[in-house]
Amino acid sequence: MLLTKKLAILGTALVVSAASVTAFAQDRPGFGFGLHGRIEKLLRDLKLSDQQEDMLVEMKAGMKSKRKEMKQKMGQSFGALTEELKKPNPDKKRLHAIVDQHADQMRAAGHARIDDMLKFHSTLSDEQRATLTERLERLERHRKRLAD
């Protein structure tokens, strides 16, 4: 009997909290959660030209294909690691070589991403750069608060 009463109270509390969330929801575009949402809001605030938006779409598509390629390579590396570790006496040099190869691929991908970002950065106006800088500084302050 006591358990049923507790479940009824809990159920009522859940319904009330769900109803209050929908009651306070606003019918306007939000900017989501996490880094993706912040980036989307930043891009809206930069008021990009059509040419800049097209460039971003191309960059995003390029990054997506590179990410897919990296995942394939990571899968192959993981498979090679697994095969080597199945052996009774795994080859230490081989394992290190696999890890080094993966690190080199990650480094190359990071450099390519930076090059793309710099190409896009060169298209920004002074006002857009100021907005970008201000947002990055704000994100850095937020990151530091979270780290403390």
Q: What is the pLDDT of residues 82-117, one digit of tens each?
A: 998 999 999 999 999 988 998 898 899 889 989 998
Average pLDDT score over the chain: 80
- For residue 54, pLDDT over 60 is answered with yes
The pLDDT, as a whole number, for residue 92 is 93
Residue spans of beta strands (DSSP E) within the chain: none
In this prediction, residue 44 has a pLDDT band, given cuts at 50, 70 and 90, of confident
The pLDDT, as a whole number, for residue 26 is 47
Contact by Cβ (8 Å): 112, 40: no
Packed helices 92-121 and 50-86: angle between N→C axes, nearest 10 degrees: 180
The pLDDT, as a whole number, for residue 142 is 83
CB contact burial 34-67 (16+ within 10 A = b; e otherwise): eeeebeeebeeebebeeebeebbeeeeeeeeeee
The pLDDT, as a whole number, for residue 23 is 46
In this prediction, residue 122 has a pLDDT band, given cuts at 50, 70 and 90, of very high
Distance CA 72, CA 102 (A): 11
Distance CA 143, CA 145 (A): 5
The pLDDT, as a whole number, for residue 128 is 92
Contact by Cβ (8 Å): 104, 47: no
The pLDDT, as a whole number, for residue 28 is 46
The pLDDT, as a whole number, for residue 62 is 87
H/E element holding 13?
helix 2-24
| Position with higher pLDDT, 27 vs 56 | 56
In this prediction, residue 8 has a pLDDT band, given cuts at 50, 70 and 90, of low
Enter the DSSP assignment of 33: S
Distance CA 132, CA 92 (A): 46
Q: Spelled out in words, what is the top-level CATH class assigned to the domain 33-147?
A: mainly alpha
Residues comprising the chain, all counted = 148
